[in-house]
Each structure stands twice: as C-alpha cells, then as structure tokens.
Amino acid sequence: MSNLKLYRINIQNIADPLQDQRLLNLVGTERRKKVMRYYRPDDRKRSLGAGIIIRKILTENGLSESNLKYSENEKPVVDNLFFNISHAGDYVVGVLSDCEVGCDIEKNDNAPLKIAEHYFYSSELDYIKNADDKNKAFFTLWTLKESYMKMTGKGMSLALGAFEVVPTADGFILGKSPENRCFFKTTEFDGYIFSVCNEKEFELEQMENCDILDL
C-alpha cells in the first residue's frame, strides 16, 4: 500500500505577485520568470502556487530546484521522487507518492459534454448519461483519465480514447489500455472534483493533507 501526501493551496489566500513581489522569494529563479510571463493575475497566482508546492516537496526531501528537470511534455520531474501537480479555478494541488503518480482537479461546473461524445468510450458515455449529476459524472471521469495520462508521463500525447476508465460498485478501474496498470481514487471538496492515479494501491482517506494558507 502506497503512502501519499496531498498539498493544496487556495489562490484566494495569495496576493497577486505582480503587486507583492516578495511572494516571488518563495520560489526559484526559473519559476519566477514563468510566473511573471502570465498576463492574468489568477494565472500568475496559480503558477506561483505550483512553484510553492514543488519547492515544499523538494525541501521536505532534502532537495532543491537544481534537482528539477522537465520532461518532453513539460512535466516537472526529479530522479527517484514521484509527484504531480494540477490546478483549476481557485486551487493548486500536488501529490507526493512512493511510485508513479498523477493527479487532476477540475471545478464541477458547466461540463463540456460534447467532448465525452467524441472521445470517451461507450461505457464511459453511458455512465454520464445515466447519472443524476452529469457535470459531476463527466468531471469524475475526466479527472480520472487525466490523472492516468499524467501518471504514465505521456500527458495529452496519450489520447483520451486510447484507454477506458470503468465504473464499478467499488469505484473505478482501468479497462482497455496499452499502458501500465494502476489504481484510482476520486473525491470532491469545495465544488471541485479531485482524482489520483497511482501505480500501487492506496487509500485517499489516508493521504496527509498539507494545506498552505495565508501566504
């Protein structure tokens, strides 16, 4: 059973780094440049939040930004350290694991259901059509699929229709896929759907929450 740790920042607790540049001291030089390239304040705050979480993960493991590299699809990676970052709306989240891991978060609102009709498996589409809350059903599957794509390291280069996420009475499992086996968990907080895909079995309830507030 894997041990996972969840990091979570609500960007409403962060000032715009353009207005309070002291916040940029919380991240390294390369992240500062990335933050300041964004035009919209919330995009700057989300990028800053991602940098803060990455630095915290590195520091807790005796590492620094000098150990950080980026994969071909821009995923931040460190040798022998397994983590993943996601953001949507007001939240930036990160997950640290002891094996390959991916996570995704989306706000449960205005689901683009046409995407499911074009790119989801028929079983996934049926799950959405039969759900009372179709927004929640869509974003549950979407975040599960995204978390799997990120766990494999392929990101969006792995097509949504290349694998199947199967709803069962006990949760969700990986169906048809050419990629690695994995374990899924999904939850909801503050109107957001959050999903994790991990190479080993884990319990979401046992994740250690590390909320970073009032920066």
CB 163 within 8 A of CB 147: no
pLDDT digits (tens, 9 = 90+) for 36-84: 999 999 999 999 999 999 999 999 999 988 888 887 767 788 989 999 9
Residue 136: per-residue pLDDT: 96
pTM above 0.75, yes or no: yes
* pLDDT for residue 66: 87
For residue 214, the model assigns a pLDDT of 46
Greatest alpha-carbon pair distance for the chain in Å reads 50
Quick check: 208 pLDDT over 70?
A: no
Closest CA to 120 of 160, 61, 171: 160
Q: Tell me: the pLDDT tens digits for 8-34?
A: 999 999 999 999 989 999 999 989 999
8 closest CA partner among 201, 190, 203: 190
Structural domains in the chain? 5-212 (3.90.470.20)
Distance CA 140, CA 212 (A): 25
User: Tokens standing for 78?
Assistant: 């460190």
Q: Helix 122-129 and helix 134-151: axis angle, to 10°?
A: 150
Please name the amino acid found at residue 127: Y
187 pairs with which residues across the strands?
194
